[in-house]
Structure 1
Amino acid sequence: MEKNIEKIAQNLSLKTSQVETVLQLTQEGNTIPFIARYRKEMTGSLDEVQIKEIIDSHNQLEKLDERKATVLAKIEEQGKLTDELRAQIEASEKLQEVEDLYLPYKEKRRTKATIARENGLFPLAKLIMQNVPNIEDEAEKFVNENVKDGKAALDGALAILSEAISEDVKLRNWTLSEIKNNSRIASKVKDESLDEKKVFQMYYDFDNDLSKLPNYRVLALNRGEKLGILSVKFENNDEKIERFFETRFNARNNKYLSLAIKDSTKKKIIPAMERQIRSEITEAAEDSAIKVFSENLRNLLLVAPLKGKVILGFDPAFRTGAKLAVVDETGKLLETKVIYPVKPAKASEIEQAKKDLAAIIKKYGVEMIAIGNGTASRESESFVSEVIKNENLDAYYVIVNESGASIYSASELARKEFPELTVEKRSAISIARRLQDPLAELVKIDPQSIGVGQYQHDVSDKKLAENLDFVVETVVNQVGVNVNTASPALLSHVSGLNKTIAENIVKYREENGALASRSEIKKVPRLGAKAFEQAAGFLRIPNGKNVLDNTGVHPESYNVVKNLLNDLKINDLDDDARKKLENINYPQMAEKLEVGQETLRDIVADLMKPGRDMRDSFDAPVLRQDVLSIKDLSIGQKLEGVVRNVVDFGAFVDIGIKEDGLIHISKISKNFIKHPSEVVAVGEIVTVWVDKIDNERGKVNLSLLDPRG
């Protein structure tokens, strides 16, 4: 345990005391958000990501230790465990290293080599290694009832040598390094008919240095191969590898040993190393894709909410009509309607749709219209823009990413919330609420369905889900949750709470009315002392009896606040109080109040802005009243847009036309950047210039760089 703590601290550039503290706090049942926010003095102000890295590293090292113990026991059972081998296994830092060392001792299915050993051919293999003359004559001496002739004896001996060579750890490691550093990876088209949209066309005849292969190309090759469109192979210097082995075994003048080497390298070692490398680069590519997805998701969840607005959700469609849903300032449904605004609807239906949309906007004082970006989105945008203009309405529209809305609409959660509505109408409500409070609505949807990743369907589902859930949990707790309006889905992500407790909170407030204080939360069934400790600081009660209940100040610090305000002679949190708080001497006051400086700084920040929402500092959506077509664009034109997705090779930006424009990584910064996320983020409003226009395909390339220099 102590050795692992030191290793984690070294790998993560932390103090051993920080690692020890995090593991101890976790063992006591504390959650990552709680430790990050309310135990800063104990951890040295580690954030959520650092705390998770410590926990994950500890779990991985424990698994590695368990595997080492199993391997050592199994080799010891065979009576083959030497002090040197034990030391090598115990010093291994990766699971693969342990498996490589275990390989010669692993119980195997019956191979040609094991059968040859059983038939007494091991001494013949040793003679081949010694390069004795007239080996064919020597082989005849090994003929028996199971070995029919000298040739069969030699074949068996070569099988023993081939297997032994393939299990040599040093040779495997050299081959692994050689392929990693000097080989290329290539793909050819296997079945073009399976690639209807020509998505993989650039990989029909493709090759790249393995060491320089970008992560997104790894996942693209994997998918193309999995779909049967591509065949993928390594291009190695086989002759160089064989020469190295021949030199290692002094086999240049040893015909049969050279044959064993050729068999071992071509059939065993090289294929095994290729599989290992494919596995390693896939894992690295998956980790990169998950990291990008996680960052995009975090930024999407932190998009500023449009508070206090009546919003109309507009779920577009061609044949089945557009579904409308109006929600009030709190997200409560006011009305749903179906209109037929675009062809193939008849002219009379489209005219009626214009009247219906104008009427519903006027009736409820709709200020914002959220249009889903799915089928018929841009046609619906033109329709909405025309109605706003012709009716002289004081309303704006926003194109909202509707990924996952249909999944939510058909879910048990949506059925519980709106049992009497159709799936499509529920979808319109979800689209409206996504604009009103993205975080509260998006937590109802499986993060993988939100559509802000790259190749998310080609990575490990378990690993992706774990990372995205962590992002959701982190953001929900950083923002805080109104306990009196939050859905069970949102509450279930609060530190210390689970689905059952979340549903109990909603049930409690339905039966007893709005909770008046944080202390009242303790009355909720199944919400024990530990759950209250973990959750209380992240639950908000606006307009409650105690102003602190609407801040991030934890109830355990309420007495600290009381003493602080008494010391500063503050009765109300007015401008005068804020001036006093701004001028606090933190070291002196922290000592006086017997509290840590970091905790005191967080308390003061909350007292300065009670009920603050960290999302208010992020970009709000771009509001539009008029539609833009690709025909309206020209090279060099300056536009404002919203970043919809960030991927390894660039960023996609909604500039108001049918397809999002792509800013290639080369057009993002004048300086070298490793990844577009260094400059742009999902939800960010950016100024871009039109770089290229492909009218035929409806594609636009953009640039963040002003062409005027």
Structure 2
Amino acid sequence: MMYDKSCEEEGIGLSNEEMKTEIGQERNEAERQERIVKQVARELSLALKQIRTTISLLDEGNTIPFIARYRKEMTGELDENQLREIEDRVLYLRNLEDRKVEVIRIIDEQGKLTEELQAAITSAVKLQEVEDLYRPYRQKRKTRASVAKERGLEPLSIWIWGQPKQGDALKEAESYVNAELGVETPESAIQGAMDILAENIADDAAIRQWVRRYTLDHGMLTSEAKDTEQESVYENYYSYRELAKKMPPHRILAINRGEREGILKVGLEVAPDSIYTYVAGQVIKGSSVVEDLLRSVIEDAYKRLIAPSIEREVRAEMTEKGEQQAISIFAGNLRSLLLQAPIKGRRVLGVDPAYRTGCKLAVVDDTGKLLEVAVTYPTPPNNKKREAAETFKQLIAKYDIELIVIGNGTASRETEQFVAEVIADIGDSSLAYLIVNEAGASVYSASKLAQEEFPDLDVAERSAASIARRVQDPLAELVKIEPKAIGVGQYQHDVSQKHLDESLKDVVESAVNHVGVDVNTASSALLSYVAGINATIAKNIVKYREENGKFSNRRQLQKVPRLGAKTYEQSIGFIRIPGGENPLDRTPIHPESYAVVDRLLAELGISAHDLGSKAATEALNVSNIEQLAAKLEVGVPTLRDILDSLQRPGRDPRDELPLPVFRKDVLKIEDLAPGMELQGTVRNVIDFGAFVDIGIKSDGLVHISQLRSGFVKHPMDVVSVGDNVTVWVLNVDLKKGRVGLTMKPPADAQA
């Protein structure tokens, strides 16, 4: 508690000693906070003010989507990615500061804390640095060095460490021989002293740091097969060597998996001579009678104590690098998938293909409402194509179906062949089909949410409905599925699941708030990703809507149980009410800015009900935003966003994206030939290229070298999941069912 004179007068004030302690704690906290601010500013090349403001906003409970959209003036227009970087680094550095305090306390209690050591710990910027400094003072299990100390050999180790110019080590060691303590000979006494010195060297923070960096820079990661006769997907790594620091992330994770599955034996090789030379330079002060002993100590310290732990640390650092990249790729692909253009205004027939159990069908109207389900058996082993075709034709005619959507799972291509034949037989030029990624559909179908949505359907029928809805509104449907089950990553099962879950949740939250949510149609799953809204409040919103009818204005959200002032502030700008009482409620404009909008519209001579008209759009095309912002007493970034929102009220940002490629006929791998031009859809982007659906059973691969002419740092710089691309066939492997593609036009490829 802070010092208060009134408390002192009542006899309950703080003592001088307590006041000094509290003031000291506050000063330490302020210093700690400033260290964090400066460190993050240096790392991210941002202004100190931006970091301080962002930390303050986050500590006040503001969400990142809210800060990025509605607090631009305060942060200097930092985007979501920058804000998340700040949040992550601040969390890491705060945990680091807590660890520093703990380490200093423990060392101080041992009576071994010096000013130099405390300063070194305080200035450390990585957890590994702190742990290296703490290592000599850590409580250890029984070691050769600790046994030697128990036998009274520490003074001998100090004598050797002093590097005397004269004397004889064996004669010096004779006085330490003690059979009762287990020191039988002078040689065993010297060995014990050497064990003590080896551990001291291995615990030296500066030496460990140098050896770790040298190992990472010069170490060769090696892998070999435990059984060279065994066939596996890891055959490329049966006899493999690569400089550790140059290994791409996907290769690190592939080798790790092979090791974990017991197929590969993996190691890290480092030529030790340079390490011995460096350590000797730190330890040996010149010629002495114990120089050879010290060189033996250095070799033992490295081989027995330093190398094994440094190898673990370096490999852990490499794995972390691989995991970060894998999670980043998954996140990028997921965002692209979530933000694919919705196919609006069409009645859709969804097909969940299968062999023995038949293809489940689900018809949904243009709003996603389920109209009818059925099952047909056009694929082996039943092959009831005639009956299946009749069912398809009846449903297509009954509901005026314009699009058939087929999941890309088991029996997908056989079902596609059948659907193409049905479309050709009908002869309707407006009817087409589409293959969609059905990853996660089975997860959704068995979920509690799916049971609540479709209580009368079985699991496969729910899956067919989900597949149909995926094209109508990919975002609204995919948020019902655990993000990592959507399957647009690489090695997602080999990374930290906690970090993966956190990253993917951030992606979904970002995508949902980028698009905005119609509160009168959104599911609780979709609402739960709106900034500030949790699963409980999302369910309360849906329940309130069901009991009281549609929301007619944003203010009504304040009546929803547990939706308090802070939640309302954070979420309301991302909630839309199309056709509501206030035209502004269908825009991303936050209610806190409605007064500014009123002044703006009055200044421009238009009404909120004119929004969307040609005259209003022209009036809102302001040339001098800075001057108008000053007049309206509002920040330029906020005014810019307001003008953009008013010019295109109710706009869905996904509408500007291209629709997927619709197909009417099927293509077989046997039909392909090098040089053939095709249209395809990017299904997955990974470190070494992109997989493209060109309408055959397996997606074709565009290697990173074939994405465009010139250097490509990463495939994501060129393509994203959902992109429609023109490709040319490079090669066809009929035996393995693989197709190599290029996105370089033939003229460029020849050049």
Does the alignment reach a TM-score above 0.5?
A: yes
Matching of residue 52 in structure 1 with residue 94 in structure 2 = no
The answer for the alignment partner of 2:453 in structure 1 is 417
Residue identity opposite 1:57 in structure 2:
R
The answer for the alignment partner of 1:260 in structure 2 is 297
TM-score, length-scaled by structure 2: 0.92
Matching of residue 389 in structure 1 with residue 437 in structure 2 = no
Matching of residue 228 in structure 1 with residue 271 in structure 2 = no
The answer for the alignment partner of 1:105 in structure 2 is 137
- Contact 1:192 / 1:229 at 8 angstroms: preserved in 2? no
Give the Cα separation in 1 of the matches to 2:596 and 2:204: 65
Higher mean C-alpha displacement, 573-582 vs 91-100: 573-582
Higher mean C-alpha displacement, 167-176 vs 292-301: 167-176
Matching of residue 691 in structure 1 with residue 726 in structure 2 = no
Shift of the 2–383 alpha-carbon distance from structure 1 to 2, 3 Å rule, reads: same
The answer for the alignment partner of 1:370 in structure 2 is 405
Deviation track 1:196-238 (CA, whole Å, cap 9, x = no partner) reads: 6x22111111111112111111111111111111110112102
**1:39-188 counterparts in 2 under 5 A?**
39-129=71-161, 130=163, 133-144=167-178, 145-150=180-185, 151-188=187-224
Task: Compute the displacement of 1:248 (Å).
Answer: 4.2
Higher mean C-alpha displacement, 568-577 vs 132-141: 132-141
The answer for the alignment partner of 1:463 in structure 2 is 499
Matching of residue 273 in structure 1 with residue 305 in structure 2 = no
SS, match of residue 702 in structure 2: strand
TM-score, length-scaled by structure 1: 0.97
Deviation track 1:636-676 (CA, whole Å, cap 9, x = no partner) reads: 11111111111111111111111111111111122212111
The answer for the alignment partner of 2:28 in structure 1 is none
Residue identity opposite 2:514 in structure 1:
Q
Residue identity opposite 1:236 in structure 2:
V
The answer for the alignment partner of 2:23 in structure 1 is none
SS, match of residue 35 in structure 1: helix
- Contact 2:363 / 2:371 at 8 angstroms: preserved in 1? yes
Give the Cα separation in 2 of the matches to 1:583 and 1:172: 61
Task: Compute the displacement of 1:148 (Å).
Answer: 3.9
Give the Cα separation in 1 of the matches to 2:568 and 2:283: 68
Deviation track 1:72-123 (CA, whole Å, cap 9, x = no partner) reads: 1111111111111111111111000010011111111121211211211012
- Contact 2:700 / 2:738 at 8 angstroms: preserved in 1? yes
The answer for the alignment partner of 1:312 in structure 2 is 349
Q: Of 251, 260, 263, which residue of structure 2 is paired with 1:217? A: 251
Residue identity opposite 2:50 in structure 1:
Q
Deviation track 1:236-290 (CA, whole Å, cap 9, x = no partner) reads: 1023333443454349974433332222111111111111110111111111111
- Contact 2:151 / 2:183 at 8 angstroms: preserved in 1? no
Higher mean C-alpha displacement, 514-523 vs 690-699: 514-523
- Contact 1:139 / 1:154 at 8 angstroms: preserved in 2? yes
Give the Cα separation in 2 of the matches to 1:41 and 1:255: 67
Give the Cα separation in 2 of the matches to 1:160 and 1:148: 14
Task: Compute the displacement of 1:459 (Å).
Answer: 0.8
Q: What are the ranges of 5 or more consecutive residues in structure 1 without an aligned counterpart?
A: none
SS, match of residue 740 in structure 2: strand
Give the Cα separation in 2 of the matches to 1:72 and 1:526: 44
SS, match of residue 560 in structure 1: helix
Task: Compute the displacement of 1:173 (Å).
Answer: 2.1
**1:664-675 counterparts in 2 under 5 A?**
664-675=703-714
- Contact 2:223 / 2:239 at 8 angstroms: preserved in 1? yes
**1:516-527 counterparts in 2 under 5 A?**
516-527=552-563
Q: Of 49, 53, 69, which residue of structure 2 is paired with 1:21? A: 53
The answer for the alignment partner of 2:275 in structure 1 is 241
Give the Cα separation in 2 of the matches to 1:368 and 1:143: 91
Task: Compute the displacement of 1:584 (Å).
Answer: 4.7
Give the Cα separation in 1 of the matches to 2:397 and 2:235: 51
Structure 1 vs Structure 2: percent identity of aligned residues? 53
Deviation track 1:487-536 (CA, whole Å, cap 9, x = no partner) reads: 00000000111111111111111111111111112221111122111111
SS, match of residue 366 in structure 2: coil
The answer for the alignment partner of 2:386 in structure 1 is 351
Q: Of 647, 662, 666, which residue of structure 2 is paired with 1:608? A: 647
**1:242-641 counterparts in 2 under 5 A?**
242-250=276-284, 254-346=291-383, 349-393=384-428, 394-571=430-607, 572-573=610-611, 574-641=613-680
Task: Compute the displacement of 1:137 (Å).
Answer: 3.5
Task: Compute the displacement of 1:688 (Å).
Answer: 0.8
- Contact 2:222 / 2:268 at 8 angstroms: preserved in 1? yes
Q: Of 14, 33, 37, which residue of structure 2 is paired with 1:5? A: 37
Task: Compute the displacement of 1:363 (Å).
Answer: 0.9
Residue identity opposite 1:119 in structure 2:
R
Higher mean C-alpha displacement, 667-676 vs 63-72: 667-676
- Contact 2:222 / 2:240 at 8 angstroms: preserved in 1? yes
Structure 1 vs Structure 2 CA RMSD: 1.6
Higher mean C-alpha displacement, 578-587 vs 209-218: 578-587
Give the Cα separation in 2 of the matches to 1:621 and 1:505: 33
Deviation track 1:131-161 (CA, whole Å, cap 9, x = no partner) reads: 6654234323212211241143233212112
The answer for the alignment partner of 2:24 in structure 1 is none
Q: What are the ranges of 5 or more consecutive residues in structure 2 without an aligned counterpart?
A: 1-32
Give the Cα separation in 2 of the matches to 1:92 and 1:104: 16
Residue identity opposite 1:378 in structure 2:
R
Shift of the 581–104 alpha-carbon distance from structure 1 to 2, 3 Å rule, reads: same
Task: Compute the displacement of 1:558 (Å).
Answer: 1.6
SS, match of residue 708 in structure 1: helix
Give the Cα separation in 1 of the matches to 2:233 and 2:401: 41
- Contact 2:176 / 2:183 at 8 angstroms: preserved in 1? no
- Contact 2:406 / 2:433 at 8 angstroms: preserved in 1? yes
- Contact 1:147 / 1:153 at 8 angstroms: preserved in 2? no
Residue identity opposite 1:380 in structure 2:
T
Task: Compute the displacement of 1:184 (Å).
Answer: 0.8
Higher mean C-alpha displacement, 417-426 vs 478-487: 417-426
The answer for the alignment partner of 1:201 in structure 2 is 235
SS, match of residue 582 in structure 1: coil
SS, match of residue 651 in structure 1: strand
Task: Compute the displacement of 1:576 (Å).
Answer: 1.1
The answer for the alignment partner of 2:10 in structure 1 is none
- Contact 1:537 / 1:555 at 8 angstroms: preserved in 2? yes
Give the Cα separation in 1 of the matches to 2:622 and 2:175: 97
Residue identity opposite 1:377 in structure 2:
S
Give the Cα separation in 2 of the matches to 1:174 and 1:424: 58
SS, match of residue 181 in structure 2: coil
SS, match of residue 747 in structure 2: coil
SS, match of residue 611 in structure 1: coil
SS, match of residue 251 in structure 2: helix
- Contact 1:302 / 1:475 at 8 angstroms: preserved in 2? yes
The answer for the alignment partner of 2:8 in structure 1 is none
Deviation track 1:374-432 (CA, whole Å, cap 9, x = no partner) reads: 11111110000000001213311111001111111111111111122111111111111
